[in-house]
Amino acid sequence: MGGSKGIQNIIETCKELQKRNYIDIKCSYHLHLGNLPKERVYLVALYMLCYRIQDDIFKMFPFYKLDPRGIKRKNYCQKLEKLGIFSLQSPIKEDYDQFVNTVYHKIFEFLSEGHNGDENINRRTHRHPIDQKWNRHSRYRIYNLINMLFSKSETCEARVHDPTLNSERAVLWLFMNVALVRFCENNLRDIITGKEISFIDVLNFYKNHYEKDKDAAFLSEYLIAYYKNRCENIAKDIARGDKLSSWIIDQDNKFTFSYKGVTLFKN
CA distance 63 to 179: 24
Contacts of residue 262, defined as CB under 8 A and 6 or more positions apart, other chains included, come to: 218, 222
Mean pLDDT of 66-86: 93
43-47, 81-85, 150-154, 166-170: which has the minimum mean pLDDT?
150-154
pLDDT at residue number 266? 56
Q: What is the pLDDT of residues 223-261, one digit of tens each?
A: 999 999 999 999 999 999 999 999 999 999 999 999 999
CA distance 112 to 125: 14
Contacts of residue 5, defined as CB under 8 A and 6 or more positions apart, other chains included, come to: none
| Measured CA distances, 38 to 41, 66, 96 (Å) | 8, 30, 18
Average pLDDT, the chain: 92
Quick one: three-class SS letters along the chain? CCHHHHHHHHHHHHHHHHHHCCCCCCCCEEEEECCCCCCHHHHHHHHHHHHHHHHHHHCCCCHHHHCCCCCCCCCCCECCCCCCCCCCCCCCHHHHHHHHHHHHHHHHHHHCCCCCCCCCCCHHHCCCCCCCHHHCHHHCECEECCHHHHCCCCCEEEEEECCCCCHHHHHHHHHHHHHHHHHHHHCHHHHHCCCCCCHHHHHCHHHHHCCCCHHHHHHHHHHHHHHHHHHHHHHHHHHCCCCCCCHHHHCCCCCCCEECCEECCCC
pLDDT at residue number 117? 64
pLDDT at residue number 267? 44
Q: What is the pLDDT of residues 1-33, one digit of tens each?
A: 888 899 999 999 999 999 999 999 999 999 999
End-to-end Cα separation, the chain, in angstroms: 19
Closest CA to 171 of 22, 18, 19, 29: 29
Q: Does the pLDDT value for residue 130 go beyond 80?
A: no
- Cβ atoms of 191 and 48 within 8 Å: the answer is yes
Contacts of residue 107, defined as CB under 8 A and 6 or more positions apart, other chains included, come to: 43, 44, 47, 83, 145
CA distance 13 to 195: 40
Confidence of residue 121 (pLDDT cuts 50, 70, 90): low
Q: Does the pLDDT value for residue 122 go beyond 90?
A: no
Percentage of the residues of the chain whose pLDDT score is greater than 90 = 79
Confidence of residue 264 (pLDDT cuts 50, 70, 90): confident
- Cβ atoms of 47 and 145 within 8 Å: the answer is yes
Domain hosting 223: range is 3-263
* Number of residues in the chain: 267
Q: What is the pLDDT of residues 40-74, one digit of tens each?
A: 999 999 999 999 999 999 999 999 999 999 998 88
pLDDT at residue number 103? 95
Domain count, the chain: 1
CB atoms inside a 10 Å sphere around CB 116: 11
